[in-house]
Structure 1
Amino acid sequence: MRYRNLGDSGLVVSEIGYGNWLTHGPDGEMCVHAAVEEGVTLFHTAAAWGRGAAEESLARGLTGTPRDDVVISTGVFWPEEGGPSRGGLSRKSLFASLHGSLRRLNTDHVDLYHLLRFDYQTPLEETFTALSDLVRQGKVHYVATSEWTAAQIQQAAGLAERHRVPLVGNQPQYSMLWRVPESQVIPACERLGIGQLATVSLAQGVLAGRYTGGTVPADSRAAGGDLARALVWPLLHEDLLSRIEPLRGVAGARGLTMAQLALAWVLQNPLVATVVVGASRPEQVRENVAAAGVRLDLDVLGQVDQLLGSFVQTDPRLTFTPPQYRTTDVVGL
């Protein structure tokens, strides 16, 4: 495993992080054990995932691991349960959600607290005043945004400085196919000393080669629940899959699997501190971890660009949280 600082902060994270959006049962706990064994230190979850079950599963998986050896990251925005005052980034929501997270995670603090979407219905000043209190209480050590625009991050950074909130991370979708944050979000974060925690870097398994050959494996996300299928099926274009299949040869020529190539591609960006990736089996964790420290030469990067061509998304306007989007639909980051 290799390690990097998150932005300009002193927080050190593993190049490969583990996220448990979909895997928070017994199999997920075995994956957490494997991740610890492989040197993974960043573990990401969220209060709403599985209505709290993901945090409880992570806590069980980390039983016996010294607390100070890991970076526990959780997030707030969607409600864990119903009620008109639940969800969003209000002071009430932040305090209630965090205290629930601490109870489920069996810890007295989280190392990194994610604001999982921008909340148009709560003044940002209110959010950062509440975060300042939680930081002073020692319950939150660092703060990160997730899927915020460059302008929103810039506004947040000003408030974070004023209220002495260590805003050190941003969590964008970022992959060979989804390069949306490159033109505005990542440059803005670089100026502000904010590091990237990349997610969805395997494009729901598409860039791992799960769907090449025209089949949908029974254990894949595309064969899972309604939400997982909704995220995967739009990517299953025949033309796109035909372009992804040759990546198997590009990866194999360098002794890599397709998943390792995809994760290593993201890590070529020095502004990315970690790639957060899930797994349903311990062997997938070990495969993912092998992407740490891999250097890709310009020839490989050029082949990737040539193969994916017009399917690469770059429009910065795609980083956007609609004003009406608040708490009803949980998407997996």
Structure 2
Amino acid sequence: MEFRHLGRSGLKISEITYGNWITHGGQVEADAATACVCAALDAGITTFDTADGYAEGRAEQVLGKALAGERRGGIEVFTKVYWPTGPGANDRGLSHKHIRESIEGSLRRLGLDYVDLYQAHRYDYETPLEETMEAFAAVVRAGQALYIGVSEWRAEEIRAAKVLADELHVPLVSNQPQYSALHRVPETEVIPTCRELGISQVVFSPIAQGVLTGKYLPGQPVPEGSRATDQKGGGAGFISRWMKDDVLERVQNLVPIAADLGLSMGALAVAWVLQEENVAAAIIGASRPEQVRDNVQAVGVRLDPEVKTRIDEVLAPVAVTDPALTRSPDPRP
């Protein structure tokens, strides 16, 4: 495993990070989830990402149990706050009240005294940013989190948050956007802004919910047990936008490129996002341990510029690039 600094902080994280969005507490049973976490640890992964909104908190519980017994100083655990955690009007968002109650709930479910990174899962347009950042500062000063981050915030929102974080002496070190060779939305505005501010990307869906593995074939039924069949956990909905023949045909054109490099398609996709210096880690998910072992082939891979250009040219007609697609739910009229 190789490690990268998170922002301008002294914290190093594994460049492959294990995340349990959709899978833990939803798509796979607890025993299978634990097996995947064990495979991640065996592969040298030390960084684990979750959120209180995943499977209504069950994902945090499963991850906490799977990591129980690991030396706390040898792992980094990230979680997030924003999405609803209950039926009440204040059981959501980034108010001081919800952040305070959510960090306590996350720590309880994870079985930890603190998390290494606490992230705002989306931007909250109903709460003043000053209140949100003061609440995060209180979490850090209480020793419940060491660093703070955001997820899918726009460039101007990140910049405003960084100003307040500096004033409050709170280490805002990361953004967690969706980023892959198919979803290149952060490249135009978010990544340049974060590079300037000393904030890293910890990216999710580097293999586009599995599409970049090449297992989905144009004109063919989806494989049984794949994410595209997961109606209960929501995986099918997330992947549906990529399940188009023009996209799948383009992805199949990457097969010889991966073969020439001796990489699986999944590892090639993960390696692609790790070529961006502002990316500290690529988050992988898994429903089977062998998927973890497959994706970690990307560790330390450096793609020649001409190879990356070939990949970009193949996917350019179907890749998404519009920076306006980075947005949070906005209830305002």
Q: TM-score band (shorter)?
A: over 0.9
Query: Residues 210 and 220 of structure 1 are in contact (CA less than 8 Å); yes or no, is this contact kept in structure 2?
Result: no
Aligned residue for 2:298, secondary structure, equals coil
TM-score, normalising length: structure 1: 0.95
Q: Which AA in structure 1 matches 2:183?
A: W
CA distance in 1, matches of 2:72, 2:133: 26
TM-score, normalising length: structure 2: 0.95
Q: Which AA in structure 2 matches 1:292?
A: V
Kindly provide the CA deviation profile for residues 145-197 of structure 1, in whole angstroms up to 9, marking residues without a partner as x.
10000000000001101111110000011100111111110110011110110
Aligned residue for 1:18, secondary structure, equals strand
Matched, 1:123 2:128: yes
Aligned-residue sequence identity (percent) comes to: 47
Aligned position for 2:27: none
Aligned position for 2:2: 2
Aligned position for 2:47: 42
Aligned position for 1:110: 115
Once the two structures are TM-superposed, the CA of residue 52 in structure 1 deviates from its matched residue by: 1.0
Aligned ranges 1:157-306 → 2 under 5 Å = 157-213=162-218, 214-225=220-231, 227-306=234-313
Once the two structures are TM-superposed, the CA of residue 23 in structure 1 deviates from its matched residue by: 2.2
CA distance in 1, matches of 2:56, 2:156: 31
Kindly provide the CA deviation profile for residues 178-220 of structure 1, in whole angstroms up to 9, marking residues without a partner as x.
1111111011001111011011111111011121252301111
Q: Which AA in structure 1 matches 2:297?
A: A
Once the two structures are TM-superposed, the CA of residue 81 in structure 1 deviates from its matched residue by: 2.0
CA distance in 2, matches of 1:209, 1:239: 13
Aligned position for 1:31: 36
Aligned residue for 1:107, secondary structure, equals coil
How much is the aligned-residue C-alpha RMSD, in angstroms? 1.1
Query: Residues 260 and 290 of structure 1 are in contact (CA less than 8 Å); yes or no, is this contact kept in structure 2?
Result: yes
Q: Which AA in structure 2 matches 1:320?
A: R
Aligned residue for 2:84, secondary structure, equals coil
Q: Which AA in structure 2 matches 1:247?
A: L
CA distance in 2, matches of 1:81, 1:218: 33
Once the two structures are TM-superposed, the CA of residue 306 in structure 1 deviates from its matched residue by: 1.8
Q: Which AA in structure 1 matches 2:301?
A: V
CA distance in 1, matches of 2:183, 2:45: 25
> Which residue of the other structure, out of 137, 143, 148, is the alignment partner of 1:143?
148
Residue range with higher mean Cα deviation, 131-140 or 143-152: 131-140
Aligned residue for 2:140, secondary structure, equals helix
Aligned residue for 1:143, secondary structure, equals strand
Aligned ranges 1:79-90 → 2 under 5 Å = 79-90=84-95
Kindly provide the CA deviation profile for residues 243-293 of structure 1, in whole angstroms up to 9, marking residues without a partner as x.
111211110111000000000000001110000110011111111111110
Once the two structures are TM-superposed, the CA of residue 2 in structure 1 deviates from its matched residue by: 0.6
Once the two structures are TM-superposed, the CA of residue 100 in structure 1 deviates from its matched residue by: 0.3
In the TM superposition, structure 1's runs of 4+ consecutive aligned residues that sit over 6 Å from their partners are none
Once the two structures are TM-superposed, the CA of residue 320 in structure 1 deviates from its matched residue by: 1.2
Aligned position for 2:97: 92
Once the two structures are TM-superposed, the CA of residue 233 in structure 1 deviates from its matched residue by: 1.5
**What are structure 2's unaligned runs of at least 5 residues?**
25-29
Query: Residues 246 and 318 of structure 2 are in contact (CA less than 8 Å); yes or no, is this contact kept in structure 1?
Result: no
Aligned residue for 2:277, secondary structure, equals coil
Query: Residues 267 and 274 of structure 1 are in contact (CA less than 8 Å); yes or no, is this contact kept in structure 2?
Result: yes
Once the two structures are TM-superposed, the CA of residue 134 in structure 1 deviates from its matched residue by: 1.1
Residue range with higher mean Cα deviation, 142-151 or 62-71: 62-71
Residue range with higher mean Cα deviation, 210-219 or 262-271: 210-219
**What are structure 1's unaligned runs of at least 5 residues?**
326-333
Q: Which AA in structure 1 matches 2:306?
A: D
Aligned position for 1:14: 14
Once the two structures are TM-superposed, the CA of residue 309 in structure 1 deviates from its matched residue by: 2.2
